Each structure stands twice: as C-alpha cells, then as structure tokens.
Structure 1
Amino acid sequence: MACAQSPTANIADNQAPAPEKDFYGKLSDAALQLTENEVEYDPTYYKIPYPNGDVPKGKGVCTDVIIRAYRALNIDLQKEVHEDMAANFSKYPKAWGLKAPDTNIDHRRVPNLQVFFTRKGESMAITTKASNYKVGDIVTWMLPANHPHVGIVVDKKGADGRYKVVHNIGSGQNLDDCLFDWKITGHYRYKK
C-alpha cells in the first residue's frame, strides 16, 4: 500500500539547487557574518602571533573587518602583506617611521592595504556610479580630519538599490548604506 504524499512534497525535490557563490560572494558572506559578532573599536597596537595572528576577540578597527573576512576564506592578509612589504619595503608608506616591516601592525593600516591591493589585486575605477561597485569589492575612503577608512561591499542593498558596506567606523562591525558618504580614495578587488 502506497503512502499518500503531501502536495508540497515534490516542490523541494524539483527545485534546482542554488548556484554556488563565487569567491567574491563568499567574501561578502564572510563580511556579513562578522556583523553578528560584538566588537569594540580598539586601535591599540597589539603583539600578535605570525602568521594567522589576530587582535583579541571582541576588539578591532576597520582593517580587521577586511582581515577577518579574508581569513574566513583561508587568506591570511597578515602574511600576504608582510611578505610583499619584506620584498618591496620601499613601495609602502613611511608615515610611521618604520625601518622594516612589522608583522603586528602593517596589515592593520589602510594605506598599506591600499598599496598591497594595488600591487597584488585589481585596482578599479573610482566613480560616483553605484553600479560600478560590485559584491566583494574593497573600498577605501578619507574621513574628516584625514583618517583613512576601509570596508567591503556586500550582497545587501539599501532602499535606493545600492549595495551596502560592512565596516567598523567606531561602533563595531556594521552593515551600512555608506558607499558615497565620504571621499573614496581606492576601489579594489583581491583574490589570491
């Protein structure tokens, strides 16, 4: 005797599986996942292990959003930035008076990430056209008082249809519709 099936039983069976996300979709997901963690903005210099070092859990700045999102995809920007700086130190900013790379902090500085993404990734056009900014793009800004900032464009849209950004601007790892709130200084895509 056959069992009766629910009229909805075959709907799930007949649906095609969702296509697997590309690298940048996965990076977006990793950044969005970070917004679920409570993080206090903390620019303190920490001595951290190398490679795969991180500041204490629950602490961080804007660059730590980028570092942690890439780390979720098994890319260690601490190591990648350090190796490039060690081989090409003269190409990186000298604003901090360092005579050699420092694995504790170099990857946590926006200007260093800008140089790294330009050298090792793809530098994209800076425009005011929202459609030019794709999921997984890294964007840098100059905030008032000349404070550099960085965030990741993610697969969530604001009311105007523009992609939102995951960043930490002082109140934790947040999802905000802020792409054009400040002067954009860099636009990158990076995949190792």
Structure 2
Amino acid sequence: MTRTLLYTAALLLALGAAAFFAAPNEVRYFVTTGLDSVRDAALGPRLPERDPRPATDWSQSLIDSARTQIGVTTTYDPAYVGLSYPMGDIDRRKGVCTDVIIRALRDSHQIDLQERVHCDIAANFARYPDLWGLTKPDRNIDHRRVPNLRRYFERIGADLAPPTLQSDFQPGDVVTWMISAGRPHIGVVSEFTTRDGARPLIIHNAGLGTRMDDFLPLYTLTGHYRLEPHI
C-alpha cells in the first residue's frame, strides 16, 4: 500500500512538473511569482545575491522611485478612470504596468507623462497609434497605454536597438514586450541581476502588483528605450 502511494505521488509530481514546464510563459510566471509571494510573506523578501550594477544618478533615482512602489501597488486594475490634470493618478494601491513608469518619473524627476503625452498627441494626433477608435486625445488614458508611450519615447529620440546580450541592458532603461495579442507590457531595468549575472531584474506590474523579478526573457521584446537625457 505504501509503495503504491509513493508511486502515485511520484507520478502526480512528474505530471505536475511536465504540465508546469509545458504551460505558456504567462501561466508559469504567475505560478512562480505567486509562490514567491507566499514565501516572502512568511520569511520576508529576499535580497538580490549579487552586487548592484552602477547606474547614473538620474537612472538610479528613477529605479529607486520605481522600487518604492513594491508593496504599495499590490493589485492590477486596468479600469478606465477619469483623472485630474496635470499629475492625475489613481489610488497607488492599484494600477497597470504603465503606472510604474509614470509614477517613477514623477517621484524621481517631477516629469509628468500625462501632460507631456497629452500635449504631444494633441499637436500630432495622426502620428500616434489608431488602436482605440478615438477621434481626439483623451488625457485620462492616453499616457497609460503602452503603444502611446512607445511612440512618445520614439518621438523624443529615446529608442534604441535591443542589445545582443541581455546583460547589456543598462539600469534605468525602459523595455516593452508583447505578452499576448492586444496585451503589451512595459517595465524598467533595475541595477540588480539574476544570480548568474546573465540579465537584469525588471521592476514592473504584470498582474500581481509592482514587483522586481526575472521577467526580461519571458516574452517577445518590442521596444528598448533610454530616457536620459531625452526626456
């Protein structure tokens, strides 16, 4: 009886492992980060094991401001909300991926993407993506959409080609991905790397609140930006 139970347990474990590794990246990411959250709640957050990479003062301030959102923004909420203008925001306990960048720039350098993106779209409406059926700018939401941020960063000259090596992304760089059709994503490169130093950890919110984790290789990269000194 005991041997049968052991065989059954081993089979279930093997099937579970096979299903995990065969699952889409998004499923594996949420399972792994969910387990990490349980572990951190019980034992406290783990500190990176490698020394941080050097960053410019401007980039370090951006990174630090993004990291302060960890533990504050704990949920992902894509609901459309009317905002004050300028410097409008929703409750910082919730947000989407773009809010990580928006809030970090405001807190570190008093740069308001809501105002800057709105002004540029108002003056150059036809040059921005036509994905939402709009006929005029919407200052409540335009700056919170990844395609619009990508276009704005391109227009100010901040876009770069992705580096050959993932380790060559610099602290403070902004990166975009396509998680699935119609679901773009954005995050900021931190000064910390994976344990082997192969690539930087990313500060972002993909659905579990703002986190810093090994997200860079999970999805197709769509953009690479270095905001300093262009913004």
- With normalisation by structure 2, the TM-score equals 0.72
Aligned to 1:22: 57
Q: Residue 128 of structure 1 contacts residue 180 of structure 1 at CA under 8 Å; is this kept in 2?
A: no
Q: Could you list the structure 1 runs, at least 4 aligned residues long, displaced by more than 4 angstroms after superposition.
A: none
Q: Which amino acid aligns with 2:99?
A: D
What SS does the corresponding residue of 1:34 show, helix, strand or coil? Answer: coil
Aligned to 1:147: 183
Residue 68 (1) aligns with residue 75 (2):
no
Aligned to 2:86: 51
Following the alignment from structure 1 to structure 2, what is the Cα–Cα distance between the partners of residues 145 and 169?
Answer: 15
Following the alignment from structure 1 to structure 2, what is the Cα–Cα distance between the partners of residues 38 and 184?
Answer: 24
Q: Residue 73 of structure 2 contacts residue 95 of structure 2 at CA under 8 Å; is this kept in 1?
A: no
2:224 aligned to which of 183, 187, 190: 187
Q: Residue 118 of structure 2 contacts residue 138 of structure 2 at CA under 8 Å; is this kept in 1?
A: yes
Shift of 1:39: 2.5
Q: Percent identity?
A: 49
Aligned length: 174
Following the alignment from structure 2 to structure 1, what is the Cα–Cα distance between the partners of residues 86 and 150?
Answer: 20
Following the alignment from structure 2 to structure 1, what is the Cα–Cα distance between the partners of residues 200 and 154?
Answer: 22
Is there any run of 5+ residues in structure 1 with no aligned partner, and where?
1-18
Residue 123 (1) aligns with residue 123 (2):
no
Aligned to 2:48: none
Following the alignment from structure 1 to structure 2, what is the Cα–Cα distance between the partners of residues 91 and 21?
Answer: 32
Following the alignment from structure 1 to structure 2, what is the Cα–Cα distance between the partners of residues 64 and 186?
Answer: 17
Q: Which amino acid aligns with 2:212?
A: L
Deviation per CA, 1:160-192: give whole Å up to 9, x if none: 212110010000001011111100000001132
Q: Which amino acid aligns with 2:224?
A: H
Q: Which amino acid aligns with 2:200?
A: Y
Query: Given the superposition, is the C-alpha separation of residues 85 and 133 from structure 1 closer, same or farther in structure 2, using an over 3 Å criterion?
Result: same
Q: Looking at secondary structure, tell me which structure has more helix per residue.
A: 2
Query: Given the superposition, is the C-alpha separation of residues 66 and 177 from structure 1 closer, same or farther in structure 2, using an over 3 Å criterion?
Result: same
Aligned to 1:33: 68
What SS does the corresponding residue of 1:149 show, helix, strand or coil? Answer: strand
Following the alignment from structure 1 to structure 2, what is the Cα–Cα distance between the partners of residues 104 and 50?
Answer: 8
What SS does the corresponding residue of 1:111 show, helix, strand or coil? Answer: helix
Q: Which amino acid aligns with 1:151?
A: G
Residue 106 (1) aligns with residue 139 (2):
no
1:83 aligned to which of 110, 119, 125: 119
Following the alignment from structure 1 to structure 2, what is the Cα–Cα distance between the partners of residues 20 and 133?
Answer: 11
Q: Residue 31 of structure 1 contacts residue 154 of structure 1 at CA under 8 Å; is this kept in 2?
A: no
Following the alignment from structure 2 to structure 1, what is the Cα–Cα distance between the partners of residues 155 and 89?
Answer: 23
Deviation per CA, 1:81-127: give whole Å up to 9, x if none: 11111111111011101111101000000000000011114111124
Q: Which amino acid aligns with 1:62?
A: C
Aligned-residue RMSD, C-alpha: 1.6
Q: Residue 201 of structure 2 contacts residue 212 of structure 2 at CA under 8 Å; is this kept in 1?
A: yes
Q: Residue 73 of structure 2 contacts residue 92 of structure 2 at CA under 8 Å; is this kept in 1?
A: no
Aligned to 1:10: none
Q: Which amino acid aligns with 2:147?
A: P
